[in-house]
Structure 1
Amino acid sequence: MPAPDPVPAARPGKRAATPLRVVVTDPIISRFAGRLTRGLDGHEWTFAAAAAAAERLAAIAAAEVVVCSHLSEQEAAVAASARLVHVTGAGLGRVAISALPAAAAGANTFHHARPIAEHVLMSVLALNRRLLASDRQLRSGSWRTIANDSSVPLHRTLDTMTLGVVGLGSIGAEVARLGAGLGMETLAVRSRPEAPLPDGVRPGWVGGTADLPRLLAGSDAVVVTVPLSAATEGLIGPAELALMKPGAFLVNVARGPVVDQAALYAALSGGSLAGAAIDVWWGAPAPGRTPPADFPFAELENVILTPHYSGHARSTFERRADDIAGNIARLAEGRPLLNVVRSGSQQ
């Protein structure tokens, strides 16, 4: 078992009523083993992230609880004893939930909205102030400011900028809150514009998907936060990018294919878009394709490139570990589970 991470205090609550066999296959959440198991030492824990495939398969076959970020159809099919499969994040795309036995419930967890929102605002500030370009120039011995070079642009303060949020789920809502807190005017579009607004979110206006052109034309920075689906693939394409203001920025923290990569590269290299921050990509990294894109974004100076890490704050995984442990305790005590994405026949 991995070395426990330091934790402040024991988790409150009664001891588990029924001991469970728990298998953890996710290497990231395994780093928080101390927090995950705190107060739940009556269970049988197996940390199998580094195990050989056959050993991991055998552990899953015997488990009553599987904690994972990936679960293949083969692994799901052998999980005959599973009562709960707990995904260690929000997304279910790499977990074969439908292949699980009927008795197995499925649950997920979140807590990534705040760090991603901070990444978005950091990116807007860095793009607006040409932070990376200025750093590179100064390191190379070039001192360029408005005092000695009239071509250097003046940067803007956030309270003079409009932030357009595409998608108003947990991430989009947190982006809107932080942007407004820093004085930005905020606009938003989402699939159900008539739904109640999230707490603390008060955009200047909220429209539906058909209002996307209005948002793009009216925003100085646009952040894309919608989930990838047949309806959102290519949502931001050549026509949409052409609608954006000269000098505007695009930040994508959704999924790569929500933005047409050929159109984005053309807009960035051709100068119609002032800059972009890309944290999500078009496929997986590979030798010769890192970052994973079909166009040389790494050669552009007006782009911030990050390896899909915007949500990777310590607090994200600490709170996810707490959610998972809480659901394991609920299962053992016969209480209703939280964040259920699939109801098992025993629940």
Structure 2
Amino acid sequence: MRIMLNHRILSRFHDRLKASTHGRHDWLESFDWDPARLTEAIADVDVYVGSKLRAEDARRAERLRLVHVVGAGYDGIPMDALHPGVTVATTHHHGRSIAEHVLMSVLMLSRDVLGADRALRAGRWRNVAVDPTLPFGTTLRGRRVGVVGFGETGTEVARLCQAVGMRVRAVRRDPSAPFPADLRPDWIGGNDRLPELLADSDVVVVTVPLNAATEGLIGPAELAAMGPEALLVNVARGPVVQEEALYRALSSGTIAGAALDVWWSGPPEAPSRLPFHDLPNVLMTPHHSGHTADTFAARATEIADNIDRLERGDALGNVVRAPAAAGSTATAPPSPARAVPHDE
């Protein structure tokens, strides 16, 4: 089969992809191609691996059998433009990497690592031994973490927080859905219990997808409910939290601090129209919490396995759009979560 790999990050794992598919296929690495070259080549492609596909290219790809998204979100794939026989599959494996980033961020904010680092780089020792006015840092044992969304990322966050002695509570769309047996949350409620979770948590971690129901979910009232000692960590999507409301809450002391790995715009634009970079109580990272070798090595292995399954005629994993039966029209899946335009 001819496979087009159009993903800058996953291309760094091309040896694993080719080895896992036993070198049987013709691979085209197109992440740095100009649009015209890609459009010309895609007509002869059987499998497209990438997170974005233009509608005109999807319509031209009459030979295409599989679009394999490099991540969980498929909002960059024009489902309606694909031919009926095309399968669309996704891959995950980001939960543990993001959860470790969350735990790191909470520790950094709890110990004011950023402030201590800035001071020492400027030649000043900044600790309670030399400055009795400084507040003490806090440990995590016994602190309450509220997780908004309890899917792959949310449950991994809960697992690591639980391991260091934090008490977990969560809200999710379906509170009756099963969760891993090793987790021992204080409680799991529906989204209607969000105000209770915010008021009852020392740390709030946002992991929900961005959709019509979650856009602007955390605003002035929700931030005020958290209280002046609380921390917010957003690893979901920037617009789940209201931009101006968060800036005001951080600059006024409504909440103690925030770790932001997701923003309201993507490269090459600035992450926000507001000067979050001027606030000393904000940890800023460039949407890279899931960018570990472990995440993408596992994704490469799973994508290669699905390509092998396609070649053998076996059922594929993580299918979000099945091919239509002969003579019928493919049914589009529910609208996916929207994403800011950069790789995840």
5 Å-filtered alignment, 1:101-180, equals 101-180=83-162
Query: What does residue 308 of structure 2 align with?
Result: 329
Query: What does residue 235 of structure 1 align with?
Result: 217
Kindly provide the amino acid, as one letter, of the partner of residue 233 in structure 2.
Answer: V
Q: 1:68 aligns with which of 21, 26, 50?
A: 50
Superposed CA offset, 1:229-269 (max 9, x none): 10000100000000013211000000000000111000100
5 Å-filtered alignment, 1:1-347, equals 20-38=1-19, 39-286=21-268, 289-290=269-270, 292-345=271-324
TM-score (norm 1): 0.91
Cα distance, 1:147 vs structure 2: 2.2
Q: Structure 1 unaligned runs (5+)?
A: 1-19
Cα distance in 2, alignment partners of residues 135 and 183 from structure 1: 27
Cα distance, 1:41 vs structure 2: 1.4
Q: 2:116 touches 2:127 (CA, 8 Å); kept in 1?
A: no
Cα distance, 1:138 vs structure 2: 1.4
Cα distance in 2, alignment partners of residues 182 and 302 from structure 1: 23
TM-score (norm 2): 0.92
Secondary structure at the counterpart of residue 159 of structure 1: coil
Cα distance in 2, alignment partners of residues 42 and 346 from structure 1: 28
Kindly provide the amino acid, as one letter, of the partner of residue 182 in structure 1.
Answer: V
Secondary structure at the counterpart of residue 23 of structure 1: strand
Cα distance, 1:310 vs structure 2: 0.3
Count of aligned positions: 325
Q: 1:219 touches 1:245 (CA, 8 Å); kept in 2?
A: no
Cα distance in 1, alignment partners of residues 311 and 181 from structure 2: 33
**Once superposed, which parts of structure 1, at least 4 consecutive aligned residues long, lie more than 4 Å away?**
none
Q: 1:22 touches 1:67 (CA, 8 Å); kept in 2?
A: yes
Cα distance, 1:146 vs structure 2: 1.8
Give % identity. Answer: 52
Q: 1:83 touches 1:346 (CA, 8 Å); kept in 2?
A: no
Q: 1:40 touches 1:329 (CA, 8 Å); kept in 2?
A: no
Secondary structure at the counterpart of residue 132 of structure 1: helix
Cα distance in 2, alignment partners of residues 169 and 220 from structure 1: 21
Greater mean deviation of Cα atoms: 248-257 or 194-203: 194-203
Cα distance in 2, alignment partners of residues 138 and 46 from structure 1: 49
Superposed CA offset, 1:189-228 (max 9, x none): 0111111123422210111111111111111110000000
Q: Structure 2 unaligned runs (5+)?
A: 327-344
Cα distance, 1:345 vs structure 2: 2.9
Cα distance, 1:51 vs structure 2: 1.8
Q: 1:104 touches 1:346 (CA, 8 Å); kept in 2?
A: no
Secondary structure at the counterpart of residue 141 of structure 2: helix
Cα distance, 1:346 vs structure 2: 6.4
Superposed CA offset, 1:272-312 (max 9, x none): 111000100102234xx52x212110000100001000000
Superposed CA offset, 1:80-125 (max 9, x none): 1111010111111111122100010000100100010000000000
